[in-house]
Copies of this chain bind each other. A is one copy, B any other.
């Protein structure tokens, strides 16, 4: 039927692709059954392309075929989700063929997911799934409208009689409100642990934690005065401290300590992951800190500080743990292998979800 001009249209479509200077469709990353991974990148002009990834100790060179496709296949990788990028001559770039980008304000890396022989705690499994809702809330504290993600568990009924406990979960310093789901898979970890009966059905609130230019003090107020009231006005949640937990990673781990330990009447569970604490707010809160320790220990049902032995913050985190212990605060250190990474974050969260609200 000539009115459709399919060939002309295809040519026009190809012309659009060419106009937009898109690279050819490549299968990258290709995760093989034996957990080797092949990465591919197209460039006729580059003189050198290397692969950099958190599954590698050092970057590896890629080699070019006659069609201009650079590739490398890396040996089997321990199942997990890893950030990676290409260095094309002097330019760092995400993998154009990979949809999945590490949600971050400062860099654009891709992520690759290597499935385990048995499903991992963060993998998409055949279990009931909760959902993630993207909200806007008004922050009177910060004078603006901000994004907020809310995970509700499978079977959640907003109008039912059940009142859910809430975990407030904060990302790292240059991350966004999406990093805990897009990279940390908080929703799937919760789905899986709830399905196995290892975690209580709960709501997980993931705010945007960055406040420019001075993050910490305003965000504490935003959490207490704006975020928690918004959640409590819109979701059927427990409103006492034993129904609230707070956790966070890196800068968000520091925020967790600041917010949680200065508001122990609000959070019975405080779980800090590799906290970054070299901030004015932390110094203000914990220099010459003299809380009523007996009361605090009574208020806190769980206080954990997690860190990896290869984390660049390992030493200062250990020193903070020692400081809390010296104050006779019941802190539970969780020291594991690994670095300041989102591979570790997923493990920290999985551990937290199994420990809180019980």
B313 and A282 contact, CB distance less than 8 A = no
Complex copy number for this chain: 2
Given A15-B312, A135-B129, A287-B1; A105-B101 close (CB under 8 Å): no
Stretch in contact with the other chain, from A3-11, A218-226, A260-268, A291-299: A3-11
Given A12-B313, A134-B132; A92-B278 close (CB under 8 Å): no
- Please, which residues of chain B bring their CB within 8 A of the CB of A176? 99
Cβ-based interface call for A22 (8 A): yes
Give Cα distance in the complex from A56 to B27, angstroms.
31
- Please, which residues of chain B bring their CB within 8 A of the CB of A106? 22-23, 25, 96-97
Give Cα distance in the complex from A95 to B89, angstroms.
17
Choose one: B8, B93, B157, B320; the contact of A93 (CB below 8 Å): B93
Give Cα distance in the complex from A286 to B6, angstroms.
13
Choose one: B16, B23, B129; the contact of A136 (CB below 8 Å): B129
Residues of A26-56 whose CB lies within 8 A of B:
43-46, 52
B278 and A9 contact, CB distance less than 8 A = yes
Interface centre among A16, A282, A287 (most CB of B within 10 A): A16
Interface centre among A16, A23, A89, A278 (most CB of B within 10 A): A278
How close is A163's CB to chain B, nearest CB, in angstroms? 16
Cβ-based interface call for A316 (8 A): yes
Q: Which residue of the partner chain B has the closest CB to A103?
A: B99
Contact with B along A267-278 (1 / 0, CB 8 A): 000000000111
A16 and B277 contact, CB distance less than 8 A = no
- Please, which residues of chain B bring their CB within 8 A of the CB of A44? 90
Give Cα distance in the complex from A131 to B109, angstroms.
28
How close is A247's CB to chain B, nearest CB, in angstroms? 21
B133 and A4 contact, CB distance less than 8 A = no
Contact with B along A127-167 (1 / 0, CB 8 A): 00101111110000000010000000000011100000000
Cβ-based interface call for A283 (8 A): yes
A3 and B322 contact, CB distance less than 8 A = yes
Residues of A63-88 whose CB lies within 8 A of B:
88
B13 and A278 contact, CB distance less than 8 A = yes
Given A101-B108, A134-B134; A286-B43 close (CB under 8 Å): no
